[in-house]
A and B are shown apart, each in its own frame.
Chain A
Amino acid sequence: MVSVINTVDTSHEDMIHDAQMDYYGTRLATCSSDRSVKIFDVKNGGQILVADLRGHEGPVWQVAWAHPMYGNILASCSYDRKVIIWKEENGTWDKMYEYTGHDSSVNSVCWGPYDFGLILACGSSDGAISLVTCSGDQQWDIKKISNAHTIGCNAVSWAPSVVPGSLIDQPSGQKPNFIKRFVSGGCDNLVKLWKEEDGQWKEDQKLEAHSDWVRDVGWAPSIGLPTSTIASCSQDGRVFIWTCDDPSGNTWTAKLLHKFNDVVWHVSWSVTGNILAVSGGDNKVTLWKESADGQWACISDVNKGQGAVSSIADGATNEQ
């Protein structure tokens, strides 16, 4: 069972759009409509503000931490059409790179698995998805998938790195040839899978099931098996779990996790991919787990109000 243990005072002046913990769970990055990105040290249940990053000229939608083997690197994306990559050096945070290649709001950023190098996927309201790769020494290489989603792309999420055909014996000593894949969701009600082939990004799959905008997608971390699992949620209130057992990655089956009464904003997989957290317009965060027979069950239902509301003067909740 889950309960609220902590409420964090971020001192943001407007709505917070995203909060992400770093790899070690010791740092928290938040971003808000107040155009700022804040970084906190999380220690013993308390938070100390260590940086307040200003640089965006509009609401900042999402932040993403890179793997620590590349240093302390954070990407943020904003309505101002920019993606900023920040880096901590000598204890101070600075802009490392600013990407301005989108024509509209950038809604989502996600770093690829560390095996792929420093690679960032960005989804924008202009319908395009950009892949920004650090090719060493402040050189950044851009690949853009135009018109990935008509009207706009709302979310991107990378597949964990899996060596192709890992079930078949691999000639030893060879450098593994990773297949780079990610999933995106957009305003065309579609979930799309993308795959890099010979250095070019191609649409690999188009998953249709939602009847309204796809708000978020999440590729589950695969612990152990090369079975792929994706969660997608939509404005239509539905959450789907997509699975693919086929090693070639061509047959995806959808399973309806649940139909909520209101929009479903986000889905998020736990570290081992065993629990899916879902947040909806009814102000509830629900946790879901797959049972041994493949059925998804709600294991916990955390109302924001529980335990938290008493400490917040204006956060009175009401539900009908």
Chain B
Amino acid sequence: MSGSKPDILWSPHHADRYVICDSELGLYRIGPVGSGETKAGALPLSVETAATLLAINSDTPYMKCVAWYPKHEPECLLAVGQANGRVVLTSLGQSHNSKCKELMGKEFVPKHARQCNTLAWNPVDSNWLAAGLDKHRADFSVLIWDISSKFSPEASVAAEKIRLSSGDTDSGLVVTKPLYELGQNDACLSLCWLPRDQKLLLAGMHRNLAIFDLRNTSQKTFVNTKAIQGVTVDPHFPDRVASFFEGQVAIWDLRKFEKPVLTLTEQPKPLTKVAWCPTRMGLLATLTRDSNIIRLYDMQHTPTPIGDETEPTIIERSVQPSNSLIGSFAWHPTSQNRMVVVSAANRAMTDFTVFERISLAWSSTTSLMWACGRHLYECAEEAGVGGEGTVEKDIATKMRQRAQSRYGHDMVQVWKNHLLAGGDDPQLKSLWYTLFFMKQYTEDMEQKQQGSKQALVYSGIKNIVKSSSGTTENRRCWSGSDRQTDVPRFHSEERSLALRLCGWINRGPDINVEPFLRSLEGEGEWERAAAVALFNLDIRRAIQILNKGASAERGDLNLNVVAMALSGYTDEKSSLWREMCSSLRLQLKNPYLCVMFAFLTSELGTYDGVLYESSVAVTDRVAFACMFLNDAQLPRYMEKLTSEMKEVGNLEGILLTGLTKDGVDLMESYVDRTGDVQTASFCMLKGSPGEVVKDPRVQCWIENYRNLLDAWRFWHKRAEFDIHRSKLDPSSKPLAQVFVSCNFCGKSISYSCSAMPHQGRGFSQYGVSGSPTKSKVTSCPGCRKPLPRCALCLMNMGTPVSNCPGTGHGTGKSGEKVDLTRENKLAQFNNWFTWCHNCRHGGHAGHILSWFRDHTECPVSACTCKCMQLDTTGNLVPSDSH
């Protein structure tokens, strides 16, 4: 019978070749799919690889086991163990060279015919081939053949028996005299040479594992066990051996051979193959009969020289290379964790890699690193050029980009910040406009010396209208129609202010929405402009806007039709117009068109159709409410809208809450939703110096944002942020931590400037500190003794730096107008004191900085202090300076 169970052997020398043996031998080459090497008849092994059949050898029937010659020359020499105990040398797909030719077809014949179970080449003395045979009475079961030996004298005697297998064998190639005979009166099921000594052979005998020493064949070390099949040495630990019996794997330590160091869980079905991964420490793969999974035992903890008492931790995993039942598998000798699997039935092959534990780590710049096997990968968010349908960028990436574009730093034209943020977020737009209007109003009030109102404006419309008093009600005519409306409108100073914050009206006493309408027209927001015009009871203007919009949008029929419908407005309660508008308005897609009809068809005093249309901007709804809701309705509506905004964290709601505790609540849910601490920090710092900044949540956002700026090395941005912050929250100003004291009198020389402590606690970290001393003072103001000299220019400190070659100390010239005062302040930095904490040498900051740009050692001769390297962050470059 021929061995129908397939097996795989990788070539010991070619990383891309392997042999499959079942009833015949097939040599395959593996290569990438579609490459020139793979021919048309290539068999796909995986998505990326395919195999090409190179050669078939069917010369050796009754194959039981195969072993590949381990040395380079001859290249493709295989030993085949047969059912009758013979071992035949054969080759595959080779142009036969002389050495190979000589060996080809050579047979090694045991005295008594019985099955050959296993073969093993000696890895060092590669002439030696060990064969394990079944038991035959008292005969030996382990035979070691020398493949270079000439045919034996008894060859002719044995010749008759040889005829049993292959008739045409040249009897000159038959060897019957083994080099060694071992394992008398026993059977051998598995064999392997021990790598620590080429003379040691480990054999799985009938009921024991035995180690034969060829120097003294009469002696053997053995241990009684049932686990005698498939002995195999861990390629990474020459003392670790695995063997199996039925469904159980035993792991042995040859130094403590008495019992297995560990036994792996019993499988329900008998095992057929157990193999150590050659590329990875402690990874053992096992296969059972009729199974489509390979079980992996990851013995993560390697045996240490200390001699472990505790059992090593083992992680079990199952992998399923393909859906069919697995016949056999073989680890690739060099590729990481890779194996080829052959199916039991139809010789279908799969190229499979066992994936390792992948460790992960995020970097502060939102790139992700992971390690897999011996490789590391780094990946980052794709800088998608605003492509359609792309997933929104992560907030960390957004914040970083926004910080780079100086988001939040525009203190004058506050609304522009939304453009710096990208200009594509309606909530941010609304927020920054609100803050802009609040600031504008505050400035107006300051000019008029009305400080009392100043705080009120930042408390939000909700509080503004609450304090409303003296509301007047009037009924105006529809302009463009002489009919009296029955729509009452309300006025008060506070309501006007609210409208101003909503952006509907400009500064000034008169309520004129015309400039707002024009700007909306300019932006092409026709529907919104029309709605605002209508709410100001100017139907004619609304129609005009719609017509204009229709022609601008190349005859948008929708706008024209709406204009037409508007012109037919009638206040008859039961008119057909009213009836149709009420039902048809819901089909209008644009929310502003929709609310226009809602307004026109609404009953007196109930404007829910307008007020609760959530697609309409909050500013417009609030402005509408301020015009049309009475003193009783308005606060209720505001309250309701505010809590709605707070719940969802909609920044438009800041208009209502202002920068109050309510505002912080709202911002809290916004931050909770988005993680945008940047907007939260800047927003809260825009208000009046108030208690909101002291709210621990606000402090927390600010600290988090500062940490992010630090981690991104945006130190200049952080310094600017701190300066800005200290203006609003003087308590955040850190106290001076370092004073320069006179060497003679010990008094601080900077006392005259103590009103201006240096900013940012960061400086102490850099080991560089200084005080902005007045440039004329070159002596101690206390004792009039001269100040120390700069190590580089040798001038007394206090002398201004005349010419510093490297003053290019990133002033953030981002093309924007550079604040002259800022530049002057930075230039002063060159005059500051700086010194090394270690060697105490120092001088003008500008000089020292330029010195260490080219040197590592202290500028003072004979001082070998590597001042700059002592500072762990000193060598980092801020990433926002260029």
Contact = CB atoms under 8 A, between A and B. Distances in A.
- Genuine A/B complex: yes
Contacts of A49: none
Contact of B323 (A25, A79, A305, A320): A320
A157 interface: no
A313 to B, nearest CB: 8
A58 B302 contact: yes
Contacts of B302: 33, 58-59, 79
Interface string A36-69: 0000000000000000000001110010000011
A25 B876 CA distance: 11
Interface stretch (B100-108, B367-375, B598-606, B810-818): B367-375
B382 A1 contact: yes
A161 B870 CA distance: 29
B363 A21 contact: yes
B711 interface: yes
Given A166-B696, A316-B335, A28 B369 contact: yes
B376 A8 contact: yes
Nearest to B648: A292
Chain A contact patch, size range: 35 or more
B744 interface: no
B697 interface: yes
A12 B372 CA distance: 12
**Taking each of A19, A28, A273, which has the highest tally of chain B beta carbons within 10 Å of its own beta carbon?**
A19
A312 B364 contact: no
A182 B374 CA distance: 31
B360 A275 contact: no
Nearest to A319: B47
Contacts of B353: 283, 315-318
A225 B701 CA distance: 8
A122 interface: no
A244 interface: no
Contacts of A103: 310
A280 B380 CA distance: 19
Nearest to A20: B361
A314 interface: yes
B364 A7 contact: no
A265 B365 CA distance: 23
A275 B674 CA distance: 11
Contacts of A166: 696-697, 700
A41 B45 CA distance: 40
Contacts of A223: 671, 675, 677, 701, 704
A274 B394 CA distance: 8
Contact of A25 (B315, B338, B365): B365
B357 interface: yes
B754 interface: no
Contacts of B869: 90-91
Nearest to B304: A58
A276 to B, nearest CB: 10
A75 to B, nearest CB: 14
A176 to B, nearest CB: 10
A283 B377 CA distance: 12
A191 B322 CA distance: 35
A287 to B, nearest CB: 8
A318 B48 contact: yes
A76 interface: no
Contacts of B399: 272
B362 A277 contact: yes
Contact of B360 (A4, A91, A285, A315): A285
A318 B353 CA distance: 6
Contacts of A101: none
A196 interface: no
Given A24-B713, A104-B310, A318 B352 contact: yes
Contacts of B323: 320
Given A1-B381, A271-B362, A316-B48, A224 B394 contact: no
Interface string A279-320: 111110101010010000001101011001100101111111
Contact of A167 (B47, B367, B696): B696
A21 B375 contact: no
B281 interface: yes
Contact of B377 (A6, A30, A268, A270): A6
Nearest to B362: A270
A274 B395 CA distance: 8
A270 B394 contact: yes
B376 A16 contact: yes
Interface string B378-411: 1111101000001100111001000000000000
Contacts of B382: 1-3
Given A6-B377, A69-B765, A272-B395, A266 B364 contact: no
A252 to B, nearest CB: 18
Nearest to A26: B876
B467 interface: no
Contacts of B335: 314, 316
Interface in B685-741: 694, 696-697, 700-701, 704, 708, 710-713
Given A91-B869, A315-B336, A79 B358 contact: no
Contacts of A13: 374
Contact of B358 (A1, A285, A316): A285
Interface string B860-881: 0000001001101100100000
Q: Shortest 5 CB-CB distances between A and B: which pairs?
A: A283-B355, A279-B358, A224-B671, A21-B363, A8-B376
14 contacts: A2-B368, A6-B378, A15-B356, A71-B872, A170-B696, A172-B694, A223-B704, A270-B396, A272-B399, A272-B708, A279-B370, A300-B391, A316-B351, A319-B47
